[in-house]
Structure 1
Amino acid sequence: MYKCSYSRPKIQPKEPPLGVLSIKEQDRNQRIARTRARVEHVFGGMGQMGAQVLKTIGLGRARFQLTLRCAVYNMRRVTQLEAAGVRPF
């Protein structure tokens, strides 16, 4: 079994001070970075639409507000893809 020099999953190991990462660690970092970039772009886009703070009272209202924000983001993304010539469906 592959033994890692780090203990937490999905955390990219840093390069040692006097060495380089192994090929396995570089490949693993690349896989993590791909997923992270895709997810963080979505959160960044939602953050630009004002999604940093929820001003609601209660979990139900907060869920409803987040659901609406996600729907608006998805509709906006579909229009951007259509304008670029990509067919979403």
Structure 2
Amino acid sequence: MQDENNSDGSVWADSAYRSVEREAALPGAHCRSHIHRKSARKRPLNEREQEANRKQSRVRARVEHVFVQQANRLVRSIGQVRPGVKMSMMNLVYNMRRLVWLAR
């Protein structure tokens, strides 16, 4: 199912998500696959496939680092307003730390 708010039709994923069925279904959903290639026991990846995986890893790492920073931060509260504010503050602090690190 395609999200109407998402203007980019790219799918970025780990090699565990690669399958013949998924690769066949993506063009029908107007999506472009950026899913890592898998090696097999008797067929290692060639140079072209390894380079493609490296390029995709650079993009995926930038996105995944944001989620790693917040992975173990549990917000427990009653209601929705207070946890929303706490998550917003955590995001703000993360962005400020990132800005300081990039400004070095």
* TM-score normalized with structure 2 length: 0.53
State whether structure 2 residue 53 is matched by structure 1 residue 29: yes
Correspondence for 1:13 among 27, 37, 40: 37
1:60 partner letter: V
Tell me how far apart the structure 1 counterparts of residues 83 and 34 of structure 2 sit (CA, whole Å): 28
> Partner residue of 1:67?
88
Matched pairs, number? 77
- More displaced stretch, 31-40 vs 70-79: 31-40
Following TM superposition, the consecutive aligned residue runs of length 4 or more in structure 1 with deviations greater than 4 angstroms are: none
Greater relative contact order (Cα < 8 A, sep 6+): 2
**Going by fraction, where is strand more abundant, 1 or 2?**
2
Tell me how far apart the structure 2 counterparts of residues 79 and 34 of structure 1 sit (CA, whole Å): 21
Tell me how far apart the structure 2 counterparts of residues 40 and 56 of structure 1 sit (CA, whole Å): 26
Tell me how far apart the structure 1 counterparts of residues 48 and 81 of structure 2 sit (CA, whole Å): 44
Cα distance change, pair 58–44 in 1 and its aligned pair in 2 (3 A) = same
Shift of 1:64: 2.0
Structure 1 spans left out of the alignment, 5+ residues = 85-89
Q: Could you tell me the percent identity over the aligned residues?
A: 34
Structure 2 spans left out of the alignment, 5+ residues = 1-17, 24-32
**Aligned-pair Cα RMSD in Å:** 2.8
Correspondence for 2:69 among 31, 45, 62: 45
